[in-house]
Structure 1
Amino acid sequence: MPATPEQDRPAASAGGDQPGAGDDPRPGGATPAVPVPLPPEKPPGRRPEPEPGQAGKAVEPEKTARGGEAAGSPETGATGGTGEQPTVLVVEPLLPQRLRRPSDALRFLATMVLLGGVILLALVAKQTLNGIEMDVEVGTRRAPAPLVFAAGFVGGGAVLVIPGIFAVERVFHRDGLRIAGGLIAAILGLLVSFAIGEWVVAAGPSDLRQLLTGGRPGVEPLNTLLTSVMAYITAVRISRRPMWRTLMWIAIALHVFALFTSTAATVLGVLVSILVGLGVGFGTLYAVGSPNTRPPGSAMVASLRRLGFAPVKARRIEDDIQGSRRYAVNLDDGRRLDVTVLDRDRQVAGLLYRLWRRMLLNSETRRRAIRSLRAELEREALMAYAAQAAGASTPRLLGTSEVGTEAALLAYEHVDSRPLEDIPDEEITDEILAEIWEQVRLLQAQRLAHRRLTGESIHLDSDGHVVLVDARSGEIAAGDLLLRIDIAQLLTYLGLRVGAERSVRVAASVMGAEALAAALPLLQRIALTRQTRAALRHNKQLLSALREQIVELTPQTEVREVRLERFRPRSIVTIVGSTMAAYILLSQLSRVNLVQIVTTAEWAWSGVALVAAGMSYVAAALMLKGFVPETLPLGRTVLVQFAGSFVKLVAPAAVGIVAINTRYLQKRGIPPGQAVSSVGASQVVGLAFHILLLLLFAYLTGTTAATALTPSRGLLAVLLAVGVTVLIVLSVPPLRRMLTTRMRSLFSGVVPRLLDVLQSPRKIAEGFSGTLLLTLAFVVCLDACVRAFGESISFAAVAVVFLAGNAIGSAAPTPGGLGAVETSLVVGLTLFGVNSGIATSAVLLYRLLTFWLPVLVGWAAFTHLQRHEAI
């Protein structure tokens, strides 16, 4: 690519290849380069954020002529490559640690527009929304009771537990800044939702208040928990982690379902809460910035070496028209390259303008307004190769390569040139004009549209010949409309420089009068580039003069009028009307019962309890599999858990299962130390879950609505304060070292296995879901046993009874906690209002299903596993 005005920026990068840091960067270096090497876009992996570095000595900026060397020599640079590769000086500004990404600002804007649209639509269609509200209320009341209780349990706890676990995982990976931003967003979400809610209740429009609260006292207009959680998960970019994203949205869906069943929220209130949370999250991301993922110049040099080049010096020069970084690279053989670096975070820059142009010129282009990094690389490379094949004078593309995971580069041969915009009007001769048109003719002969024919992309080399650059916006296999727009654009630009008469006359001598006549209807301001339209403000008669000159050339030619398709108001009305019609139709269909629900049948609670007891063994197997990095067969692991129920007859509950699991892992070829560590890791996580769930349900038992497990604003504020305190403690080195020392002595050997597991999202999902499912299965079993005898208490109360009783049973020295478990469960149920006789019967049924019946299956499993030397 030809040189552009070079300006040495006032800093130089530090030595050494510095890895880029991202929201979820993945370890390792870049892969070998291929012609178009960028892989399909994937969610970023995990890698720590970049450490502050890139120190460099400032170099005084000095703008030089295009193609020349900047005055002054850098004092420091960066090494590109490893081993015995020579040091390469890279002069560039100090890369900032954080960037404000245009994509975050655009998402914030889009969320606010969507929020306004939702509220406006709700106010216009109040009756429809009220009908939907009634449908939701009636539908949720018909939901089976076990589903309601399960949704309340998972939704109420998981929306708090999952973000906390994610924060711990990120802190383990030294990604605390991300969690700090998430906490800021959560606190802002809490404040914003509280402020909006108070305004709606005190002074808001009555219709809006009715729609947000349903006219029910005590209902928050905006759900504080939902808003804060949405702000948090948005600010930590949990959407880029598929497993975490899925878990979080499932938890939110169940939590919303629980809110509807307890009439603690309205449909509009939930939608507004989610949108406000998203807006706060995106706004926080843009305000505080995101980690800079742009690779430094040293990474660019390393990529060039993989392409076979031998750089000896490089420096950052002026960015191109579209904001991409550019470097002038000197090679050891005396040649020079012009390197363009495409950064992933720049791909949405100018999105609003591109969308606006797509609306105004519907047929202007076939490419997407949002361009991925891979698509951008392929487009520019393909256009460069096509232009070379067409015989046009363009800088030769020598290679492409990815630069880490967040950027890609294109290396062009250097051509000493200067742009036409820097050449005085009087120096632009007819020969130069004819050569410009000749280059355009060569492109159009191969159906190539340049689409940016301005003074910045038309250059003259040292011999005075024309060179076309910056063809990234071009189109291959372009239609007639784009080709004619190119002619109209160049006619207008050259007319601004040399006048309408010369511009048309020289163009006709090369392109032919018919080509100009075909472009005549496109001589409209809307079809031109932004820079050309701005210049036309000072020469408003130019387009008319150009049309007159073309008509004089072809007075007998009949030219059809070309109407550039605009986004008409009629289309907007059609889209909005169709959307509203579909919305009303779906709301009416939701009232139709397609499947007749049998309401006269009684739930067989004992059968539910039996199924839940059986699921506990599958959950225990998943829990063990999740904390063992090696592969374990699910079927055999389930048999081991059943065998553990037989071992519990002769050993305490907490000892027997640990012993048999450890023995099983050793038989699978896992060293004894690692086997003990894996089982210990599962027990540690299980203990943490046990404590958290006990605290959660202990609080929830005091709420008035058992199915609306939404913590109060006060509790949410306390949790956020605790999170901030923990983050502060972890950010202070002395406190962090003291805490680390004590935790290391407590969990020696367990943490390494946990870290191994955390490298695999599948293992994390297995371990954590198994741990949660294990507790849930036991609670459901106990609750079903209570209901089987005609009693019912809140699910949260049953959970507290089980968790407390299980802790006592695990500490008891008797086999399987016999005696201690039964006593604690009966006492707990009695304290929560269950008749003592029914409580005793329910606990005996529960123990029969979870302790005595599995003994027979456990004995068979134990014998089978011993016969096959699996334990």
Structure 2
Amino acid sequence: MAEARADGDVYVVEPLLPQRLRRPSDLLRFIATLIVLGAVILLALVAKQTLNGLEADVTEGATLVPLLSRIAAFLGGAAVLIVPAAFAVERVFHRDGLRVAEGLIAAIIGMAGSFLFGQWLVSGNLTDLNQLLTGGRSIEPLNTLLTSVIAYATAVRISRRPTWRALMWTTIALYILAFFSGRQMTLPGAAVTVLVGMAIGYATLYGVGSPNTRPPGNAVVAALRKLSFTPVSARRVEDDHQGSRRYAVGLADGTSLDVTVLDRDRQVAGLPYRLWRRIRLNSETRRRAIRSLRAELEREALMAYAAQAAGAGTPRLLGTSEIGTEAALLAYEHIETRPLDDLSDSDITDELLAQIWEQVGLLQIQRLAHRRLTGDSIHLDRAGRVVLTDARSGEIAAGDLLLRLDIAQLLTYLALRVGAERSVRAAAAVMGPDALAAALPLLQRIALTRETRAALAKQKNMLAAIREQIGALRPQGKVEEVRLERFRPRTLITIIASTLAAYFLLSQLSQVNIYQVVTTANWAWSGLALLASFVSFVAAALMLRGFVPEHLPLWRTVLVQFAASFVKLVAPAAVGGVAINTRYLQKRGISPALAVASVGASQLIMMIFHIGLLLLFAYITGSNTTTSFTPSRGLVLVLLAVAVLVVIVLGVPPLRRIVTSRMRRLFSNVLPRLLDVLQSPRKVVEGCVGTLMITIAFIVCLDACVSAFGGTLSFTAVAVVYLTANAIGSAAPTPGGLGAVEGALTLGLTVAGLSPELATSAVLLHRLLTFWLPVLPGWASFTYLQRHEAL
């Protein structure tokens, strides 16, 4: 428990409010987006011919004004990345970097999800959907970049900023126009892309949660002061059944208040259940599923005042107020009561039953429906008088059906406590036999509250017993059936299950033959992969020699690189090589500071080359159109990954300190060492050639391993996969990036178009040749170099 101080030295005793909440509204928007997505796809499949004609008209119009199309392509393609980046910078300057991080997470999920969905769709059997989204052309079913941008914009809640929202959607519209007119996107594909991006954004918001904006208890006390109350104490008590906060507030005159706080983010709590009831039940019994905060406040206040005017025993409503923009309160007079649920069944006397029905009778005379007559809303005060609470669920000017439902609900609840005979007899004595006969058709499980339905599960014959008792009062009465349910859940489940079963039976899912993965390997390609693996060690030696002004023997330096492969078994990939090379240079008579600087310089240039090659290959891989200024998928993926990494490193203080300290130690003397190397052009060429050869050798090795198992991927695609996976492996804390590299390579090759079995085989062969096979010669080299005091 925590104590929060309010104005006037009033302490509010309440638990600490959580910093982040999963808002039901985000879940609601996610579900609504999915429903709209399904409706759009269904409508597009039905109106296929109309959409084809519209696309032809737009394409023809674009050919008449090519300059306009190119301008739209350039502006849309560039701005679709510039606007989100500018918004991120603006948020970071306002110390709201966490929101940007959430947006980046959504963007990555959007990119990966849309691409994987597109690949699955292309290789699957959903030909109609594929034709709808691609128009039969070789284009992406879902635009990967647009999906990630929309997911980002949704997750950062850019819609709450009118200027940014207008700018963002303008650039998105230009982007869609450019791609649509250039036949790189279909109209249904654009709509589905936008909706998928929004769904991913909302799902991310709900998954990671949102900052808690609920006003604390001291804000509640301040709002009460504005209503001319003088609180001296406040304590949070148990929330009500709808999850609204409640406070017990003591006043200076010795009286007390029961305060109910309506939080804006709770207005959609339980919405799926309410929506389900609205769909399942007839219109007269349905409650409105969604209300604004203001509407909910007015509804409860109006019901409370109407119940007081009817003379019913309810707590008096003394005041209402908004608490900022995120909450509102209702202040009731405090009455010492206990709920009927706390009484034993034997304590419920006939006199008490009569009092309960009298209170309900007062409400019904004024056409007020309570809608929740259960044991937790029927209370007894110290004098034994009945007090009805929970007015928020009620209805004013209620129709006959709602009033009859109240009688059916109370009859059933009391029958579960005291038996059907006593419940019906007490109700008939107050309400009359005719009122019970009118409620008889509504004695259905679906018409009752959830708590009452759960209790009926233990007494399955109770409703029949109540009907029998009412029938004894009016044996000649004619009962008209009232149909409350539109459909039964069992019927709906049967339809859905039958549809799914038919779909899977007719789809004929392809079976994968795993045995052929190994037996079809081409060992000529494997030999090339082995040669490329060996070349990588020579290249590593050239790279190190290039960044050391002093002379280093080539083949002994090659042995050092083999020894480093042995050390990788017990050290992370980025650490083992640095340590072994630094030790080797020190043994060559180079001072420790210069040795570390030389290795640091080589690692720095290696990192620059790595990033440059990744961007280059990613751009080449993704640049399949010249009609738009649009970066490739790989380039955007890299930018997102780098952005997330920077956010994580800068946002976590311990991680930031570790990285900065290590970078400082590694690169502290790098610049002077690089200046020494630059004085020798031969050394510069040797270092750069070695650096480039390392990467190319490993890419050739992976490409050969793919070809060894019959895979057909472009060299640039393999390069992007390797460079990305190698970056992940370098950051992994496992020896040699074990596990991380394999997983990243397999996933990358699978996404690039290989089957999972083929990708796994190629990765295992690549790792065998570059990680495991060099271990034995690495151990021999390590032993040899130690024996000759070179390490």
Q: So what's the TM-score if we normalise by structure 1?
A: 0.57
Query: CA separation in 2, counterparts of 1:147 and 1:366?
Result: 53
Residue 213 of structure 1, CA deviation: 2.6
Residue 420 of structure 2 is aligned to residue 514 of structure 1: no
Aligned match for 1:552, one of 460, 463, 472: 472
Query: CA separation in 2, counterparts of 1:729 and 1:541?
Result: 64
Aligned to 2:725: none
Q: 5 Å matches for 1:616-631?
A: none
SS of corresponding position for 2:331: strand
**1:358/1:364 contact within 8 Å kept:** no
SS of corresponding position for 1:492: helix
Q: Aligned in 2, Cα 1:206/1:513: closer, same or farther, shift over 3 Å? A: closer
Query: CA separation in 1, counterparts of 2:425 and 2:278?
Result: 32
Q: Aligned in 2, Cα 1:504/1:734: closer, same or farther, shift over 3 Å? A: closer
Query: CA separation in 2, counterparts of 1:734 and 1:326?
Result: 40
Query: CA separation in 1, counterparts of 2:50 and 2:486?
Result: 38
Aligned match for 2:18, one of 80, 96, 109: 96
Aligned to 2:450: 530
Residue 95 of structure 2 is aligned to residue 169 of structure 1: no
Query: CA separation in 2, counterparts of 1:449 and 1:95?
Result: 35
**1:140/1:257 contact within 8 Å kept:** no
Residue 299 of structure 1, CA deviation: 1.0
Q: Aligned in 2, Cα 1:263/1:428: closer, same or farther, shift over 3 Å? A: same
Q: Aligned in 2, Cα 1:239/1:362: closer, same or farther, shift over 3 Å? A: farther
Deviations 1:136-188 (A, max 9, x none): 13323214345423422332222222212222222232211111100111111
Query: CA separation in 1, counterparts of 2:116 and 2:286?
Result: 45
Query: CA separation in 2, counterparts of 1:196 and 1:260?
Result: 20
SS of corresponding position for 1:142: helix
Aligned match for 2:133, one of 195, 207, 212: 212
Query: CA separation in 2, counterparts of 1:197 and 1:366?
Result: 41
Residue 88 of structure 1, CA deviation: 1.4
Residue type matched to 1:300 in 2? V
Structure 1 unaligned blocks of 5 or more: 1-10, 13-76, 573-698, 737-871
Residue 325 of structure 2 is aligned to residue 399 of structure 1: no
Residue 157 of structure 2 is aligned to residue 157 of structure 1: no
SS of corresponding position for 2:283: coil
Aligned match for 1:500, one of 409, 420, 429: 420
Query: CA separation in 2, counterparts of 1:423 and 1:375?
Result: 35
**2:55/2:186 contact within 8 Å kept:** no
Query: CA separation in 1, counterparts of 2:627 and 2:56?
Result: 14
Residue type matched to 1:141 in 2? E
Query: CA separation in 2, counterparts of 1:133 and 1:721?
Result: 38
SS of corresponding position for 2:111: helix
SS of corresponding position for 1:276: helix
Aligned to 1:79: 5
Aligned to 1:129: 48
SS of corresponding position for 1:449: coil
Deviations 1:44-74 (A, max 9, x none): xxxxxxxxxxxxxxxxxxxxxxxxxxxxxxx
Query: CA separation in 2, counterparts of 1:527 and 1:261?
Result: 55
Aligned to 1:483: 403
Query: CA separation in 2, counterparts of 1:141 and 1:719?
Result: 36
SS of corresponding position for 1:534: helix
**2:277/2:286 contact within 8 Å kept:** no
SS of corresponding position for 1:302: helix
Residue 725 of structure 1, CA deviation: 5.8
**Higher Rg:** 2
Q: Aligned in 2, Cα 1:90/1:706: closer, same or farther, shift over 3 Å? A: same
Q: Aligned in 2, Cα 1:732/1:502: closer, same or farther, shift over 3 Å? A: closer
Query: CA separation in 1, counterparts of 2:50 and 2:429?
Result: 71
Query: CA separation in 1, counterparts of 2:377 and 2:111?
Result: 51
Aligned match for 1:278, one of 182, 191, 198: 198
Query: CA separation in 2, counterparts of 1:728 and 1:538?
Result: 53
SS of corresponding position for 1:269: helix
Looking at both structures, which has the greater relative contact order when contacts are Cα pairs under 8 Å and sequence separation is at least 6? Answer: 1
Aligned match for 2:29, one of 98, 104, 107: 107
Structure 2 unaligned blocks of 5 or more: 493-618, 657-791
Aligned to 1:189: 110
Residue 256 of structure 2 is aligned to residue 336 of structure 1: yes
Residue 557 of structure 1, CA deviation: 3.4
Residue 524 of structure 1, CA deviation: 1.2
Deviations 1:449-468 (A, max 9, x none): 00000001000111111000
Query: CA separation in 2, counterparts of 1:89 and 1:268?
Result: 58
Query: CA separation in 1, counterparts of 2:649 and 2:341?
Result: 58
Q: 5 Å matches for 1:19-98?
A: 77-81=3-7, 85=8, 87-98=9-20
State, as a whole percentage, how many aligned pairs show the same letter.
70
Aligned match for 1:288, one of 201, 208, 217: 208
Query: CA separation in 2, counterparts of 1:731 and 1:539?
Result: 57
Residue 287 of structure 1, CA deviation: 1.4
Q: Aligned in 2, Cα 1:147/1:734: closer, same or farther, shift over 3 Å? A: farther
Query: CA separation in 2, counterparts of 1:426 and 1:446?
Result: 32
Aligned to 1:828: none
Q: Aligned in 2, Cα 1:473/1:364: closer, same or farther, shift over 3 Å? A: farther
Query: CA separation in 1, counterparts of 2:477 and 2:140?
Result: 71
Query: CA separation in 1, counterparts of 2:222 and 2:142?
Result: 52
Residue 302 of structure 2 is aligned to residue 382 of structure 1: yes
Which structure is higher in helix share? 2
**1:359/1:567 contact within 8 Å kept:** no
Q: Aligned in 2, Cα 1:494/1:704: closer, same or farther, shift over 3 Å? A: closer
Query: CA separation in 1, counterparts of 2:645 and 2:452?
Result: 56
Deviations 1:520-570 (A, max 9, x none): 11111111111111111122222122122222222343343322262699x
Residue type matched to 2:417 in 1? R
Residue 439 of structure 1, CA deviation: 0.5
SS of corresponding position for 2:100: helix
Residue 62 of structure 2 is aligned to residue 140 of structure 1: no
Query: CA separation in 2, counterparts of 1:374 and 1:192?
Result: 39
Deviations 1:777-827 (A, max 9, x none): xxxxxxxxxxxxxxxxxxxxxxxxxxxxxxxxxxxxxxxxxxxxxxxxxxx
Aligned to 2:220: 300
Q: Aligned in 2, Cα 1:243/1:271: closer, same or farther, shift over 3 Å? A: same
Deviations 1:247-279 (A, max 9, x none): 222221221111111111123322332222122
Q: Aligned in 2, Cα 1:203/1:527: closer, same or farther, shift over 3 Å? A: closer
Q: Aligned in 2, Cα 1:283/1:516: closer, same or farther, shift over 3 Å? A: same
Residue type matched to 2:455 in 1? A
CA RMSD of aligned residues (A): 2.8
SS of corresponding position for 1:330: strand
Residue 730 of structure 1, CA deviation: 6.2
Query: CA separation in 2, counterparts of 1:222 and 1:353?
Result: 33
Residue type matched to 1:479 in 2? G
